C-alpha cells in the first residue's frame, strides 16, 4: 500500500517496520530433516524478501523525494573467471559478417547493381538490427521500409520541387517529422517511426545544390529487394534462426549447461581447482542464468501454425519453469560451495552421488529431447532417491555425537538438502509442462 501511495505521488505514511521471525524449537525438532530444511530455507528467503522489499521502498521514496536513505540489499558475489564469451553474440557477429560479405561480393560481381557500393550502407544497419534482435523476421522489416520509401519518394518528387526557400523546406521537414513521430509514437510502432525518419533523409538527399530525379528514387527502392534477399538468406545460413529451431537449440544448451554444473559437483571438491575449470563453471553458470530470459524473447515469435495445438500460455509456463529450475540450480551451487560441514557431506557422499547421477541422466535426456522425461515416472525416480537420502541423513545424524557441529552448521546442511529437493521438484515441474506441448511439428523441416 505504501508503495502504491508513493507511486501516486502521495506520502507513504508510516515507514516499514522490521519483523523478526521466531520459531517454536519444539515443533521444529519434531519435523523430518527435509521439512526442517524447507522451513529453514523458507525463513531465510523471507528475510531476504524483507530486505529486498525495504530496499525497493527506500528506492521509490528516494526517487519520489520523500527523503528516505536508500538501503541496498545484499547480493551474492559473482564468480570471477575473467572474460566470458556469449554464443548468441558471436552468432550475431557471424551473421552480420556474412551479410556484409554477400552484399560486397554482389556489388563487385553483379554488373550495374542498383546503388553500386552504396548498397553496403543500406545493408549494414539492417544487418545490425537483425544481428542484435535475431527474433525479428525479415518480412516484418520489408513492409515499413517500402512504405517509407514510397512516402519519402512522393515528397521528393511532388512536394520538394515546389519549395523555393529554406523556410519552406524547414516547415515541410518539421511537419513531416512531427507527423511521423506523432502517428507512430507507440512502442510497438518503433519500426515504422525509425524507417519513416531514415528513409526521409536517404531518399530526399537534401543538399545545398538540390537536384531531382525519379531514377534516384527508383534506384534506392531497387536496392532494398536485393538487401532483403540477402537478409532472408542469413536466416537459414550459417545458422537456422527460425524461432522454433532457435527455441529448441536454446533448450538443449540450457540442459547441457545444467548437466555440466551438476557433474562439476565432485565429491570432496566443491570448488573448481584450475583456471580452465573456473572459467568453464562460470560460463555454464551464466548460460543457465541467462538462457530462460532468452527463451522468453523467442517464445512470442514462434509460428502458431507450427505450434498447432499449443497455446502461448503453455510456452510461457514452460519458460517460467525453466527460470525456476535455473534459480534452484544457482541456489544449490551457492550452498554447496559455501558448505563447511565437509565431514558429514563426505559420509553421505555416496547417496548424494546417486542423486547427481540420476539428475545428470535426466538432463542428458532432456538435452536430446525437451520432452524426454515423463513427469509421473520422473517424480517416482527422484522421490525414491530422496527418500533413501532422507533415511541415510536421519541415521547419520542420530549417530553423530552431540556438539560435533553447531546449529549454524546444521542450518547450512539443511539448506543444501532443501536445494537438492528444489532442483528435483523444478525438474518434475518442467517435465509436466513439456508433456502438454506437441513437439513433433516443431521438428518438421519446412521452408518458413
Residue with the bigger pLDDT between 371 and 317: it is 317
pLDDT digits 0-9 by tens, 380-438 = 877 777 777 777 766 666 665 455 555 566 667 777 777 888 888 898 889 888 888 88
Higher per-residue pLDDT: 388 or 307: 388
Q: Is the whole-model pTM more than 0.85?
A: no
pLDDT at res. 253: 94
Mean pLDDT lowest for which of 197-206, 265-274, 384-393? 265-274
Per-residue pLDDT of 207-259, as tens digits, reads 888 888 888 888 888 888 899 999 999 988 888 888 888 999 999 999 999 99
The residue-averaged pLDDT of 113-123 equals 86
Q: If you average pLDDT over every residue of the chain, what do you get?
A: 81
Residue 263 has pLDDT above 50, yes or no: yes
Task: Say what the pLDDT of residue 164 is.
Answer: 82
Which residue from 61, 55, 48, 75 is spatially nearest to 3, judged by alpha carbons?
61
Residue 376 in this model has a pLDDT that exceeds 90: no
pLDDT value, residue 154 = 92
Mean pLDDT for 162-184 is 91
Please indicate whether residue 211 or residue 19 has the higher confidence score (pLDDT).
Answer: 211
Mean of pLDDT values over 323-333: 90
Higher per-residue confidence, 398 vs 354: 354
- pLDDT value at 77 more than 50: no
**In the predicted model, what is the mean pLDDT of residues 151-170?**
89
Amino acid at each position: 500500500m505504501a508503495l502504491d501511495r508513493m507511486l501516486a505521488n502521495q506520502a507513504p505514511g508510516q515507514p516499514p517496520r522490521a519483523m523478526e521471525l521466531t520459531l517454536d524449537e519444539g515443533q521444529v525438532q519434531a519435523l523430518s530433516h527435509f521439512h526442517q530444511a524447507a522451513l529453514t530455507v523458507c525463513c531465510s528467503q523471507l528475510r531476504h524478501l524483507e530486505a529486498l522489499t525495504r530496499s525497493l521502498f527506500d528506492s521509490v521514496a528516494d526517487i519520489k523525494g520523500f527523503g528516505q536513505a536508500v538501503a541496498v540489499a545484499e547480493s551474492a558475489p559473482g564468480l570471477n573467471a575473467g572474460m566470458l564469451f556469449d554464443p548468441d553474440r558471436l552468432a550475431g557477429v557471424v551473421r552480420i559478417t556474412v551479410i556484409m560479405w554477400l552484399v560486397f561480393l554482389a556489388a563487385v560481381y553483379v554488373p550495374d547493381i542498383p546503388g553500386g557500393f552504396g548498397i553496403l550502407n543500406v545493408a549494414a544497419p539492417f544487418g545490425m538490427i537483425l544481428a542484435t534482435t535475431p527474433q525479428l523476421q525479415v518480412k516484418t522489416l520489408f513492409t515499413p521500409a517500402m512504405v517509407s520509401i514510397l512516402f519519402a519518394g512522393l515528397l521528393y518528387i511532388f512536394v520538394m520541387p515546389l519549395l523555393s526557400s529554406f523556410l519552406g523546406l524547414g516547415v515541410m521537414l518539421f511537419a513531416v517529422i512531427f507527423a511521423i513521430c506523432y502517428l507512430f509514437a507507440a512502442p510497438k510502432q518503433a519500426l515504422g517511426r525509425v524507417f519513416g525518419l531514415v528513409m526521409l533523409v536517404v531518399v530526399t538527399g537534401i543538399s545545398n545544390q538540390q537536384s531531382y530525379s525519379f531514377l534516384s528514387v527508383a534506384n534506392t527502392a531497387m536496392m532494398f529487394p536485393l538487401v532483403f534477399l540477402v537478409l532472408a538468406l542469413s536466416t537459414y545460413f550459417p545458422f537456422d534462426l527460425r524461432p522454433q529451431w532457435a527455441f529448441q537449440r536454446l533448450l538443449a544448451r540450457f540442459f547441457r549447461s545444467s548437466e555440466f554444473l551438476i557433474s562439476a559437483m565432485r565429491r570432496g571438491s566443491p570448488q573448481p581447482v584450475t583456471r580452465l575449470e573456473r572459467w568453464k563453471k562460470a560460463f555454464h553458470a551464466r548460460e543457465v542464468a541467462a538462457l530462460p530470459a532468452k527463451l522468453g524473447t523467442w517464445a512470442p515469435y514462434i509460428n502458431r501454425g507450427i505450434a498447432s495445438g499449443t497455446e502461448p500460455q503453455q510456452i510461457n509456463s514452460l519458460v517460467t519453469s525453466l527460470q525456476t529450475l535455473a534459480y534452484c540450480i544457482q541456489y544449490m551451487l551457492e550452498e554447496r560451495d559455501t558448505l563447511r560441514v565437509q565431514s558429514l557431506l563426505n559420509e553421505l557422499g555416496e547417496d548424494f552421488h546417486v542423486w547427481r547421477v540420476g539428475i545428470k541422466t535426466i538432463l542428458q535426456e532432456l538435452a536430446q529431447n525437451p520432452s524426454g522425461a515423463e513427469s509421473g515416472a520422473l517424480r517416482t525416480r527422484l522421490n525414491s532417491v530422496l527418500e533413501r537420502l532422507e533415511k541415510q541423513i536421519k541415521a547419520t545424524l542420530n549417530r553423530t555425537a552431540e556438539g560435533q557441529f553447531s546449529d549454524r552448521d546444521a542450518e547450512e546442511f539443511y539448506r543444501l538438502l532443501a536445494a537438492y529437493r528444489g532442483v528435483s521438484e523444478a525438474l518434475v515441474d518442467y517435465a509436466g509442462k513439456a508433456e502438454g506441448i506437441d513437439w513433433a511439428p516443431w521438428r518438421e523441416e519446412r521452408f518458413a
